[in-house]
Amino acid sequence: MRIDKVVIPVAGMGTRLLPATKSQPKEMLPIARKPVVQYVVEEMVDQGLKNILFITGKDKRSIEDHFDRDPELTQRLSEAQDLEHMEEIDYESEGVRFFYTRQMIASGSRLPSGLGEAIASAEQFVGDEPFVVGLGDTIIQSSNYSGLVRRMIKSHQRYGASATIAVCEVAEDEVQHYGVVKPKGRGKTDFEIDDIVEKPSVDEAPSRLAVAARYVFNPEIFAAIKRTPPGIGGELQLTDAIRNLMKMGHTVRCIRLRRDERRYDIGSPESYFKAFIDFALSDQKYGYLIRQYIEQRLREI
C-alpha cells in the first residue's frame, strides 16, 4: 500500500526552551533562515509525502498561519519578481495538503501529556493506512538529499514490519535523553529489534542506538497506545507503546542514519544553539562571513 500520510506532532510545551517558548511554539523558532518545522515539512514533501497532519495544541496558531496560503504576500513577491521566496512558500502548486487537529487531552489533565497521546490523536486521519511520523522539533540534515524516510518506507514494506524507526548512534552519556533500541543481532543499517527503552540510564541502556525522530507505523500502533499506561514523567510515552506493539507479536525494525545524515533535535538550549550555528555556517550566502566572524570572536575572547 502506498504511504502518503505524515503526522507531525507539535503540541509539546517546549518548557526547556522557556522563555523563548512562552507564547510561541518551539517548532517555529528559526534555525538560520527558516523555522524548524519548515525543514521537517520540506523533508517530507521532497520524499513525495504530501498529506500532512499537524497535531497541535495551545499557542500553536502561528504554525497554521505559516503554512497557510497568503495571496497578499504572493502578490507582493510576484510584483518584485522574487521567485526564490515565492517558491519557498508555494506548497499549493506542489499538491501539498495540510490538516490540523488538537492533541486530545486526557480527562483530569490540563496539559498535553506525551508523544503517544499526540499520535493517538491522528487515528481518524490515518484510517487503515500505514503512515509516517516526523517530530516537528527535529531536523534531519544530510550533505546530499539522502531520502531517509524513503529508505524507511521501502524497508517497512519489504519486511512487513509494523513499525520502522530511524536510529542514530549517540555518546554513552546521552542515552538517558532518548528512546534506545536493542537490536536483534549486530544492528548494522537495517535490522529488527528485541526491545526499546525510554530514557535508560547508562547502565541499563541496551545499546547506544537512539531513536531519531522519524517513524513509519501501521495502524496497529493505535491499539498498542491504548494498552499503554503513562510512563516516565507521567506522560504516555510512544516508546512504551512500541514496546507493547512488540509484546502483541508485531515486528519492529530500525534504519540507521547514514554517515552523511545528522539529527538536530532542537529541544534544549544547547542543541538549539548548536543547530543554529551549524546551519548559519552552511548558509550559501552568509556562511563564509559567519565563519570569519566566529573565528575573530574566538580570538578576542
DSSP β-bridge partners for residue 264: 139
Binding mask 53-72 for ligand UTP (x = CB under 6 A): --x-----------------
Cell 511520523 locates to: 133
Cell 506532532 locates to: 9
Select the residue interacting with ligand UTP from 7, 14, 180, 240 (CB under 6 A).
14
Q: Which stretch binds ligand UTP (CB under 6 A): 83-91, 132-140, 197-205, 216-224?
A: 132-140
Binding mask 267-296 for ligand UTP (x = CB under 6 A): x-----------------------------
Taking CB positions, which residue lies at the least distance from ligand UTP?
Answer: 12
- Asked whether position 137 contacts ligand UTP by CB under 6 A, the answer is yes
The DSSP element (H or E) to which 194 belongs, if any, is strand 190-198
- For the bound state, the minimum distance from the C-beta of residue 53 to ligand UTP, rounded and expressed in Å, comes to 12
- Asked whether position 35 contacts ligand UTP by CB under 6 A, the answer is no
Backbone angles phi, psi at 235, to 5 degrees: -100, 150
- Asked whether position 103 contacts ligand UTP by CB under 6 A, the answer is yes
Nearest-angstrom CA–CA distance, 195 and 220: 17
- For the bound state, the minimum distance from the C-beta of residue 37 to ligand UTP, rounded and expressed in Å, comes to 8
Helices 148-159 and 36-46: crossing angle in degrees, nearest 10, is 50
- Asked whether position 117 contacts ligand UTP by CB under 6 A, the answer is yes
- Cβ atoms of 199 and 243 closer than 8 Å: no
- Cβ atoms of 230 and 218 closer than 8 Å: no
- The separation between CA 214 and the C-alpha centre of its own chain, rounded to angstroms, equals 6
Residues engaged in binding ligand UTP (CB under 6 A): 9-16, 26-27, 55, 103, 112-115, 117-118, 135-137, 267
